[in-house]
Every structure is written in structure tokens, then in C-alpha cells.
Amino acid sequence: MSIKDYGWDEYFENEWKQKSKDNMYPARIIADYGQVLRVMTDTGTQLVNRPLKKHDKALQLAVGDWVALEYNEQNQVLSVQYLLNRKTKFSRAAAGIELNEQIVAANVDYVFLLQSLNLDFNMKRLERYLIAAWESGAMPVVVLTKADCCIDVGKRVADVYKVAPGVEVHAISCVTGEGIESIKKYFIYGKTVALLGSSGVGKSTLVNSLAGERILKTQEIREDDSKGRHTTTHRELILLPGGCLIMDTPGMRSISLWEADTGMEVMFGDIEDLINRCRFNDCKHENEPGCAVREAIEAGMIELKRWESWLKLQKELKHLEAKKEGKLRLLEKQRGRQISKYQKEFNKERRS
Ligand SMILES: Nc1nc2c(ncn2[C@@H]2O[C@H](COP(=O)(O)OP(=O)(O)O)[C@@H](O)[C@H]2O)c(=O)[nH]1
Ligand SMILES: [Mg+2]
Ligand SMILES: [Zn+2]
């Protein structure tokens, strides 16, 4: 077993050659237990503490990250020295009083967006996931699970293709095995696939099915509301027999966007083009003459539903930007206060 089996390649090697010191070695974070992280190194797996500098953005670590480890002979402590540049990162806005970026998965090549074909299916949620996935830099793939529970799989797949331009959509079943062959092409040696989706959609079941053994715990679905209970409690990278890495994650019901410029462009570029063609710069796309958006909707060029999605997302993203700016201002204010405090002390000392 070497780190190459875990996705180490020239991209990381180049940075390593420039930055690393003799007593350091590279490791990939393969599981996140909160304060403790499991890493994979050339000599096997090890546990390390998450660095305490939580406020330090450069050390916000996620499963999939490559880090430089250092072993201190004197106090026999293994510690993370720095984070290697990420190829991709899938983020969301973390829930809480304060708005923060939460990195869900790092250095992922394909993000599988899973939704089950039973009652849980939700197109709006999928749309958001797609935006975040495009933003991440990884390639999104839509995977509709539990095809054995749906009588109209073809129609569902067609519906998803409409909101997911340029994305492959696969319907699978871990019960009948339907569609599993069609997703195997993504499981390539050295690549990383992350599974994202609500709890109960069948992420852990899929990992087990691909691994050919029950590595992960799965749970019985609650019959009443077709939602699963939470069984996966942490994020984890698993090496599949074919050499691909697959990341199981705890369920995320919804996703709050953190950044969306690229994602919005990929998903709604046609709408953004239309807006630029409206006669008035400040067109509200309601009843103005020469509104390219209205014209396109009336001509059936774009679906009303997609337009409504765009409006809603736009509002949300403006809100997000305002919140981010507010946070920045608060930070500046705090820094300003500190500076004035030290200045006052300095002046006092000079006077005395
Ligand atoms: N009918 C059906 N049930 C499935 C399928 N895949 C998973 N399940 C069931 O869905 C439930 C939740 O699966 P699990 O893998 O724990 O979901 P996770 O929370 O996304 O990891 C379990 O009871 C599985 O047996 C499938 O393809 N068809
Ligand atoms: Mg699970
Ligand atoms: Zn307009």
C-alpha cells in the first residue's frame, strides 16, 4: 500500500518538492471523528489530533485533504504542519449563529448526488446540490437510487436531465443490481468519488455493494415517512477493490450555498444571457417592454420553473453576500478596536 493508491499524484508531488522539509511526510485524511483525524501514510494509517488553530482558515481540514505530518522525536508527538493545495473542495454554508464555510469533502474527482426514487425525491434540492457541485471543481453525477421502488424510472430520469444540463443521470438499485454496471466507469484507480445526499438514500448500501462486503452499517428505513435514520456519523474514505476511493458521508437534508458563481453560470447561464438582452438595464422581468426573459418564457424557450428557481436562488445569494459582508465589517471593526487600544496604550506610555 502506498500513498499513490490513495490518490497522491504529480499535482501534490510538485508542491511537496517545493515546501516540505526532511522530517515531514505526506498523509491523506481518510476519516474525521471530530477532534481526531485518521490519516493514510506510506506506512499505513495513523491517528492525529486536529490542529487547534480553528480560526486559521489554512488549517480547516476535511476528509480527502492531503497534509504534511511531522513527528517530533523529543515529545513523541505527531502533528499536522500544513495543508497541501486542494484540487477541489465541496463546501456549504454551515448552520449556526455565525456564517461559516464548511468543507464537506476535499480533493474529490466525482461527486455523486444521490436522491432516492421514492417519496424523498426533490428536484429543488437536487438543483442546489448541482450548483454546489459545479462550484466544487469536481464533476457531478446524478444517481437516482432505489429504482426498484419506482414505477416510472424513465420519466424521472428525463425530468432530471432537464434541470441538469451536461450531467449524467443514472438510476440504480442495490436490490436488483440495476444500473450498477453503468456507474462503474467512474471508479478508476487513484480517483476519489464522494457520495452526497440525504440520510437514507442508500449511500452506505452502495459502498457495501461496490466493496462486495458489509464494511459500513446501514439501517432499516422507517416505513412511515420513507426517511432513513442516521447511521453514518462521520465522513470516511474507503478504498474499493478496484482501487478507487469512495467517500461516505452522513446525510445532509438540505444544502445552504456558500459560493455559487461558477455553479450558477453552469446551471443558469442561458438565463443570465437572456437578462443581458433585456431592453432596460434595470428590467425587473415583470411587465417591461423588451424583456427577453418574459419573451423566452412565453415562447417556451425556458421553463417557468427554472426561472422561478433562478429568482429564488438569486435572492438567497444576495442575502448570503450581505451576511458575508456584514461579517467582514464586524471583523474590521474588531481589528480597528484592537488597533486603537494599542495606540492608546502606546500614547499613555509615551506620556508617562
Ligand atoms: N428498495 C431499496 N432499498 C434500498 C436500496 N438501497 C438502500 N436501500 C435501503 O435504504 C435504507 C437506507 O440505506 P443506507 O445505505 O443506510 O442509507 P444512507 O443513510 O444514505 O447511508 C436501508 O434500509 C437500505 O436497505 C435500494 O436500491 N432499493
Ligand atoms: Mg449511511
Ligand atoms: Zn427583463
Atom nearest to 217 CA in ligand 1:
16
Judged by DSSP in three states, 110 sits in strand
Distance from residue 98's CA to the centre of ligand 2 (Å): 28
Are β-strands 192-196 and 110-116 bridged in parallel, bridged antiparallel, or unpaired? parallel
- Ligand 1: which residues within 6 Å by Cβ? 145-146, 148-149, 173-175, 199-205, 218-221, 228, 231-232, 251
Distance from residue 283's CA to the centre of ligand 3 (Å): 5
Residue range(s) occupied by CATH 1.10.40.50 in the chain:
261-338
Kindly tell me if the per-residue pLDDT of 338 is higher than 90: no
Are β-strands 139-145 and 110-116 bridged in parallel, bridged antiparallel, or unpaired? parallel
d(CA 203, CA 313): 27
261-338: CATH topology? Ribonucleotide Reductase Protein R1; domain 1 (1.10.40)
Kindly tell me if the per-residue pLDDT of 48 is higher than 60: yes
Residue range(s) occupied by CATH 3.40.50.300 in the chain:
89-248
Of 185-199, 238-252, 290-304, 336-350, where does mean pLDDT reach its minimum? 336-350
pLDDT value at residue 218:
78
Residue 189 CB coordination number (10 Å): 12
Distance from residue 325's CA to the centre of ligand 3 (Å): 28
Model confidence band, residue 220 (pLDDT cutoffs 50, 70, 90): low
- Among 150, 153, 205, name the best residue to mutate to test ligand 1's pocket (greatest count of ligand atoms within 8 A of Cβ): 205
Kindly tell me if the per-residue pLDDT of 229 is higher than 60: no
d(CA 239, CA 221): 26
Q: What is the CATH number of domain 89-248?
A: 3.40.50.300
Judged by DSSP in three states, 105 sits in strand
Q: What angle do CA 54, 328, 318 make, to 5 degrees?
A: 110
Selected residue with higher pLDDT from 139 and 215: 139
pLDDT value at residue 232:
62
pLDDT value at residue 228:
47
Judged by DSSP in three states, 237 sits in strand
Distance from residue 231's CA to the centre of ligand 2 (Å): 5
Residue range(s) occupied by CATH 2.40.50.140 in the chain:
3-83
No. of H helices and E strands in the chain? 8, 15
pLDDT value at residue 165:
78
d(CA 250, CA 230): 7
Calculate what percentage of the chain has a pLDDT beyond 70.
93
**Is 3-83 in CATH node 2.40.50.140?**
yes
Q: What angle do CA 16, 17, 23 make, to 5 degrees?
A: 75
Judged by DSSP in three states, 300 sits in coil
pTM, whole model, 2 decimals? 0.86
Amino acid identity for residue 217 in this structure: K
Are β-strands 100-106 and 110-116 bridged in parallel, bridged antiparallel, or unpaired? unpaired
Give the largest Cα separation in the chain, rounded.
85
What's the mean pLDDT in 207-231?
A: 68
Kindly tell me if the per-residue pLDDT of 109 is higher than 50: yes
Q: How far are the Cα atoms of 19, 144, 210, 225, 341 from residue 149, in angstroms, in the given order?
A: 52, 11, 20, 14, 65
